[in-house]
Amino acid sequence: MIEFINVDKVYPNKVKALHNINLKINQGEFVAIIGLSGAGKSTLIRCINVMHEISSGELIVDGVKVHALKGRDIRSFRKRIGMIFQSFNLVTRTTALHNVLVSFVPELSFWRKLTGIFSKEHKIKALTALEQVGILDKAYVRVDQFSGGQQQRVALARTLAQNPDIILADEPIASLDPVTARQVMDDFKRINRDFRIPIILNIHHVEIALEYAQRIVGVREGQIVFDGKAEEVTEEVLDYIYKGQVVTGDRRIIQGEKVHV
């Protein structure tokens, strides 16, 4: 469904963010991308919805040559892809329901945009999405009264309301406490299982990536250095991805040596 073929990404300042990326992600997969900060994880994800344009190679999503899209075609393509950010990107002084309804604004008629009146169909879709992430009872509560985990669930509901073909998540639990992080990851896992929507997220929490994702892609210095099942990830693999700078459980791996922390 998603295929990178010999993809490079070079920024205007000549920094090479991605180098010779060859990767295929199929329908229904739950993929975690791991690696050090600056390794290229976010760039890899953001190329999929054309937030970053690739410099060379091919990027194909469900038969669409993404690298060839321009203008209006890019905007149309992005409607098929849900994007979750670390910062939630919510309007905190309004309700959870209204934040989900905002996802429908681009398809509203001029007078509905002008008046801010949403259709009954839109409201049903929004309420259904809130129910899917377990916060229907808070539909009419202002978001600034929510915890970080609840706000991330609103962001996820907003994405689900779009009926996306793919969900991308850029460090979705980075600012959450461990208990809340797992609640949000449970939502991702359930959505992936129930709706067969492929989920690709980049994440610093290695132990959570191994617990929830079916597949792990390790990125180092803009290159894929590991691609396999979560159960195939060993301490040696992590050491190779992170150059010996990773914490898993109660042990820190430093140059191949185990040090209790």
Question: Residues for the chain: how many in total?
Answer: 261
Q: Measuring CA to CA, how many Å separate 173 from each of 56, 132, 160, 203, 218?
A: 31, 19, 18, 8, 18
pLDDT at 85: 87
**Token digits for 65?**
């040559």
pLDDT at 113: 60
| pTM confidence score | 0.85
pLDDT at 1: 87
Quick one: what percent of the chain has pLDDT higher than 90? 70
Average pLDDT, rounded, for the chain: 88
pLDDT in tens, 205-260: 999 999 999 999 999 999 999 999 999 999 999 999 997 555 444 433 333 333 33
pLDDT at 140: 96
C-alpha–C-alpha distance, residues 254 and 93, integer Å: 45
Q: What is the DSSP-derived secondary structure letter of residue 175? A: T
pLDDT at 157: 94
pLDDT in tens, 69-119: 998 899 889 889 999 988 888 988 999 999 999 888 766 656 566 566 788
Q: Is the pLDDT of residue 13 over 60?
A: yes
pLDDT at 114: 54
pLDDT at 136: 95
Name every residue whose Cβ is closer than 8 Å to that of residue 66 and which is 6 or more positions away in sequence.
47, 48, 50, 59, 60, 77
Q: Is the pLDDT of residue 127 over 80?
A: yes
pLDDT at 253: 37
**Token digits for 113?**
């945009």
Strands 81-85 and 246-248: unpaired
Name every residue whose Cβ is closer than 8 Å to that of residue 181 and which is 6 or more positions away in sequence.
149, 173, 205, 208
Looking at residues 14-38, what average pLDDT do you find?
95
Quick one: what percent of the chain has pLDDT higher than 70? 89
Lowest mean pLDDT among 25-29, 48-52, 108-112, 183-187: 108-112
C-alpha–C-alpha distance, residues 231 and 40, integer Å: 23
Q: What is the DSSP-derived secondary structure letter of residue 95? A: B
Assigned fold of 1-80+204-261: Rossmann fold (3.40.50)
| Domain residue ranges of the chain, discontinuous segments joined by + | 1-80+204-261
Q: Measuring CA to CA, how many Å separate 245 from each of 36, 205, 220, 255?
A: 8, 13, 12, 8
